[in-house]
Amino acid sequence: MMVRVYAADLHVHTCLSPCADEEMSPKNIVRTAVGQMLDIIAVADHNSGKNARVVMEAAADLPLTVIAGMEVQSREEVHLLSLFGSVEILEEWDAFVYQHLPDVRNDPDVFGYQPIVDKEGYVLRFEEKLLINSLDLSLEEVVKGIADRDGICIPAHVDREAFSIIGQLGYIPPELPIAAVEIMGRQRDTVPEGYEAVTASDAHFLRAIGTKRTLFLLEAPTLEEIHRGLRSEGGRRVTELS
Ligand SMILES: [Zn+2]
Ligand SMILES: [Zn+2]
């Protein structure tokens, strides 16, 4: 077995997120990630996976692995990264999530546009339901839905007040089957005891990509390997948050 270091930014929004910059096209994201010497990124738009496939396609000829993911907002206003082993699983999850997203129309003047694009960044259509809303799914239902699809669930930015599991609930329910928590600061003392931690940029514009990263020791840049790394299995582990 051979492990090596992989630099990962597991929380990157695309232009589909209304709060993200329109420069966050698939091509721009993957080029920037490679320029930042990242090996792995995860696409994590708010409550949608509809731009993930094109980001993966844009990276096809690059030394970059793109994980299919989404940043879900539960009924309790808790943000959770959900990462999946294939884009097909993400798209099935996306269809499920969409049914549980309130039927509220986006007002682009207030919240920003929500373009579904091709890999060059050309707009194919606009998502009309407002994506930055809470699903009518509880935290437990979201976590279970991710686990049922063999995904990884990571509560996002737990050291922030807004939209975090600790900010909203005050604690992490100990029975929740979560792989790790995401922190935005570098102080591991903000990590609740017993949980592995990752950090990521939560990039909404290009210059933010890779500004926070998690270094993993893994055999290969796959979701399965990341999962094993988070459990420190067989020499795999998180080596550094930077
Ligand atoms: Zn968030
Ligand atoms: Zn985010």
Ligand number nearest to the C-alpha of 10: 2
Res 194: pLDDT: 85
pLDDT digits (tens, 9 = 90+) for 180-215: 999 998 766 778 788 999 999 999 999 999 999 999
Give backbone dihedrals phi and psi of 233, rounded to 5 degrees, phi first.
Answer: -95, 130
pLDDT digits (tens, 9 = 90+) for 134-189: 999 999 999 999 999 999 999 999 999 999 999 999 999 989 989 899 999 876 67
For ion ligand 2, residues whose CB falls within 5 Å:
71, 202
DSSP code of 129?
B
User: Is 45 within 8 Å of 79 (Cβ atoms)?
Assistant: no
Ligand number nearest to the C-alpha of 200: 2
For ion ligand 1, residues whose CB falls within 5 Å:
79, 156
Tell me the CA–centroid distance for residue 71 and ligand 1, in Å.
Answer: 7
Ligand number nearest to the C-alpha of 13: 2
Tell me the CA–centroid distance for residue 228 and ligand 2, in Å.
Answer: 24
At 158, list the tokens: 């737990």
pLDDT digits (tens, 9 = 90+) for 20-77: 999 999 999 999 999 999 999 999 999 999 999 999 999 999 999 999 999 999 999 9
Distance, in Å, from the CA atom of 159 to the CA atom of 165, rounded to the nearest integer, reads: 9
Task: Characterize the bridge pairing of strands 79-84 and 65-73.
Answer: antiparallel
Contacts of 88 (CB under 8 A, 6+ apart): none
Q: Report the run of H or E that residue 181 belongs to, with start and end.
A: strand 181-183
Q: Mean of the pLDDT values across residues 232-237?
A: 96
Tell me the CA–centroid distance for residue 119 and ligand 1, in Å.
Answer: 24
Tell me the CA–centroid distance for residue 218 and ligand 1, in Å.
Answer: 26
Res 191: pLDDT: 81
At 174, list the tokens: 């100990």
User: Is 38 within 8 Å of 210 (Cβ atoms)?
Assistant: yes
Distance, in Å, from the CA atom of 200 to the CA atom of 15, rounded to the nearest integer, reads: 18
Res 30: pLDDT: 98
Ligand number nearest to the C-alpha of 12: 2
Ligand number nearest to the C-alpha of 157: 1
Ligand number nearest to the C-alpha of 160: 1
Res 87: pLDDT: 98
pLDDT digits (tens, 9 = 90+) for 78-132: 999 999 999 999 999 999 999 999 999 999 999 999 999 999 999 999 999 999 9
Ligand number nearest to the C-alpha of 20: 2
Ligand number nearest to the C-alpha of 24: 2
pLDDT classification of 7: cutoffs 50, 70, 90: very high
